Amino acid sequence: MRVVLLGPPGAGKGTQAERIKDKFRLTRIATGDLLRETVRRGTSLGRQAQDFMLRGRLVPDRVILALMRDKIREGVSGFILDGFPRSITQAEKLDKLLEAENKKLDLVINLEVNHNEMISRLKGRVICPECGRTYNKDEFVDQPLICKDCGTHLSQRSDDNPDAIEERLKVYLRHTLPLVDYYKGKGILRSISGKGSPQGVFQRIVDLLYSPGSIGI
Ligand code: ADP
Ligand code: ZN
């Protein structure tokens, strides 16, 4: 099964992709995580990406593709993509990469959340720099901001500041949202409400994948 998870920043793609990966034994390929790791390592690709990320812009395609090409080939028997593709150009590149392996996408899950929910999730988001788990500050009233899995101090992502959030939303509307129609046209898009608890959203995704006529399983 080859799945793409689509949705605006703050929709909960990371959380859901992690669960889908575990339940259906897929390789999770998350561009945002790969990029942050590349930035941390300070490689030339990382230096090229950093500035774009801090401002909430899309990292240039040649950087993304250099990072993704091998990952997609390696995971081609079953993957969930989180954060890629983010534009029509990237979607066409992905189609070509898969075609070269005689494969195609099975399903695109579109996570829908409204504007206000998105903003409040992004503003309240804290992450564990050690293990990558994400939380919302609301979960820690009167408690220290410490990861429940590994005890590390949580911090805010450097692009979760008001300016970068606004820019990421603009970029989403302009470049990523057109993918909804792109994949509708291919007949593989399914939309799911991203509202409510992570467990509730996950259940809707599982129901979708098991529903009769689903292209999932
Ligand atoms: P979010 O979905 O919350 O905005 P991500 O962790 O997926 O966060 O991405 C963080 C940043 O990494 C993006 O704002 C962008 O700068 C960069 N990025 C991630 N995926 C891509 C991509 N496919 N193409 C270009 N840039 C990307
Ligand atoms: Zn942790």
pLDDT, one tens digit per residue, over 82-124 is 999 999 999 999 999 999 999 999 999 999 999 899 998 999 9
Work out the pLDDT band at 194, boundaries 50, 70, 90.
very high
Give CA–CA dist 92/105, Å, rounded.
12
Q: Backbone phi, then psi, for 164, in 5-degree steps?
A: -70, -35
Mean pLDDT along residues 67-95: 95
**Pocket flag, ligand 1, residue 11 (CB < 6 Å):** no
- Is pLDDT above 70 for 188? yes
Place of tokens 């992905």: 94
User: Among the options 2, 36, 168, 190, which is catalytic?
Assistant: 168
- Is pLDDT above 50 for 217? no
Work out the pLDDT band at 213, boundaries 50, 70, 90.
low
Mean pLDDT along residues 23-42: 93
Mean pLDDT along residues 42-53: 93
Residue 195: partners with Cβ closer than 8 Å, 6 or more residues away: 113, 114, 117, 201
- Is pLDDT above 50 for 31? yes
Looking at residue 185, what is its pLDDT? 96
Q: What is the pTM of this model?
A: 0.90
CA angle, 186 then 198 then 160, to 5°: 85
- What's domain 2-113+160-210's superfamily in CATH? P-loop containing nucleotide triphosphate hydrolases (3.40.50.300)
> Is 40 among the residues known to form the active site?
no
- Is pLDDT above 60 for 199? yes
Nearest-atom index, ligand 1, CA of 86: 23
> Is 204 among the residues known to form the active site?
no
